[in-house]
C-alpha cells in the first residue's frame, strides 16, 4: 500500500509563507502528500491578494485533493460527537481527521490539540 500524508492547513500556510521547515518537509515527502478539501477551502478563504491566489492555485494543482465523501462526513460527525465536549473538536478538523482514517493516511499538523483521536501524533517539524 502506498504511504499517504494529509497535510493540515497550518502546514500548508507555513509552506506558502516560505518557512524553511515546511519547505523541507514538502520536498522530503512530496510524493506522499495529499490535501483534504477542507484545507483547500480554508487556504482559499485566507488568501491575501492576487499573487497569493496564484501561488495557491499552483500548489493545489500539484498535489491530490481528497473530496469529503459521505463516508468521511459520517465518520467526521462521529468524531465530533466523541471529542467535542472534552477537546472542543470542530467539524473542519474532524473532516480532516476522518479523511486520514478513510485513507489510512498520516496526518501532518502542528495543531496536535485539534486531533486528540490520534494518540501518537507528532509535528512534522518544529518552529
Q: What is the pLDDT along the chain (127 residues), one digit of tens a residue?
A: 589 999 999 999 999 999 999 999 999 999 999 999 999 999 999 999 999 999 999 999 999 999 999 999 999 999 999 999 999 999 999 999 999 999 999 999 999 999 999 999 999 999 8
* pLDDT the model gives residue 36: 98
Give me the pLDDT at residue 2, please: 81
Cα-to-chain-centroid distance, residue 127 = 17
Alpha-carbon gap, residue 53 to 113, rounded angstroms: 29
* Structural domains in the chain, sorted by start: 5-111 (3.40.50.1010)
Count the Cβ atoms, other than its own, within 10 Å of residue 95.
24
Helix (H, G, I), strand (E, B) or coil at 6: strand
Q: How far apart are CA 66 and CA 75, in angstroms?
A: 15
Looking at 46-127, list the stretches that DSSP marks H as alpha helix, in order from N- to C-terminal side: 49-62, 70-87, 91-103
Q: What is the pTM of this model?
A: 0.93
Q: What is the pLDDT of residue 127?
A: 83
CA 106, 117, 18: angle at the middle one, nearest 5?
Answer: 45
Residue 70: the pLDDT is 98
Amino acid at each position: 500500500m502506498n504511504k499517504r500524508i494529509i497535510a493540515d492547513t497550518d502546514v500548508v500556510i507555513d509552506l506558502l509563507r516560505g518557512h524553511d521547515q515546511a519547505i523541507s518537509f514538502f520536498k522530503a515527502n512530496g510524493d506522499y502528500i495529499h490535501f483534504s478539501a477542507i484545507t483547500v477551502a480554508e487556504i482559499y478563504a485566507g488568501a491575501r491578494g492576487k499573487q497569493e491566489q496564484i501561488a495557491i492555485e499552483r500548489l493545489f494543482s500539484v498535489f491530490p485533493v481528497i473530496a469529503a465523501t459521505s463516508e468521511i462526513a459520517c465518520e467526521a460527525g462521529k468524531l465530533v460527537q466523541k471529542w467535542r465536549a472534552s477537546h472542543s473538536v470542530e467539524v473542519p478538523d474532524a473532516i480532516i481527521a476522518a479523511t486520514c482514517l478513510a485513507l489510512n493516511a498520516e496526518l501532518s499538523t502542528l495543531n496536535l490539540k485539534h486531533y486528540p483521536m490520534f494518540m501518537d501524533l507528532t509535528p512534522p517539524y518544529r518552529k
